Amino acid sequence: MATCKNGSCWTPAMLLLLTVGFCSPVCVEVPSGTEAVQGHNMTLLCISCMQREEVYAITNVEWYYEPPDSSGNKSLIYRYDGKPRETLGSQFKGRLLWIGSKDLQDVSLILQNVTITDAGKYFCHVNRTLHFEAHQHSIQNSVTIDLIVTEAANEDFTSVLSEIMMYILLAFLTLWLLIEVVYCYRKISKSEEVTQESVTDYLAIPSENKENCSVPVEE
């Protein structure tokens, strides 16, 4: 039976879909940043959303690194196969921190204390085995990050433009306020001059004629 409210009708199926849409966690595959600063930490972002979150899955993750001009030679630097672990003997030993989510849709790493030699390509390979009632299905996903390492952070053009616009706005507001002050001062001065002239003219009138006179009041 459909439920109607304010002229709109909802079937039970539509209500169920709406409820699931609001209750289900949202996973968005956001691309990783590609510029790191020497001496700082860098997040190597790898998000691989599951299409069927209600299906039980086993997830394995492998991170590879390829130095610049290495002719495609890459080495395994990190893996997750039930628990995160670092590959022994790599140049990143002790500097890779696993920050993957509990549902393993986010399998990112933090590269600590970045050095100039950390520049290069990083590959995140995700392999999921979905377990259905009658069969299993494997899906793979890969993310490539071309990392550039700089000695100092480059100032974002957007932030520079925002700062310039802020100073322009402050200058405009200051000028507008100054014009308003000058305008109000001149208006008050003119009003005082008119009042003073009226009082002077009134005092110059003989006393016997003052009963028929009144000092004009400036609106």
State pLDDT tens for residues 109-128: 999 999 999 999 999 999 99
The tally of CA atoms less than 13 A away on the side-chain side of residue 43 is 12
Give the residue among 117, 140, 127 at the shortest CA–CA distance from 66: 117
Question: What three-state secondary structure class fits 210?
Answer: helix
- What φ, ψ does residue 77 adopt, rounded to 5°? -115, -20
Run of H or E including 9: strand 8-10
* DSSP state, residue 68: T
The tally of CA atoms less than 13 A away on the side-chain side of residue 196 is 6
Burial of 127 (0-12, 13-18, 19+ CB in 10 A): middle
Question: What three-state secondary structure class fits 194?
Answer: helix
Q: Is the pLDDT of residue 9 over 70?
A: no
Q: Is the pLDDT of residue 165 over 90?
A: no
Confidence of residue 202 (pLDDT cuts 50, 70, 90): low
CA 151 to chain centroid: 24
Rounded Cα–Cα distance for residues 190 and 192 (Å): 5
Q: How do beta strands 84-86 and 56-66 pair? A: unpaired
pLDDT score recorded for residue 19: 40
Determine the average pLDDT of the residues in 187-216: 66
CATH level 2 (architecture), domain 29-152:
Sandwich (2.60)
CA 66 to chain centroid: 30
Confidence of residue 43 (pLDDT cuts 50, 70, 90): very high
Structure tokens at 116: 């100039």
Determine the average pLDDT of the residues in 9-15: 42
pLDDT score recorded for residue 52: 67
Q: Is the pLDDT of residue 96 over 60?
A: yes
- How much of the chain, in percent, has pLDDT values that exceed 70? 74
pLDDT score recorded for residue 107: 96
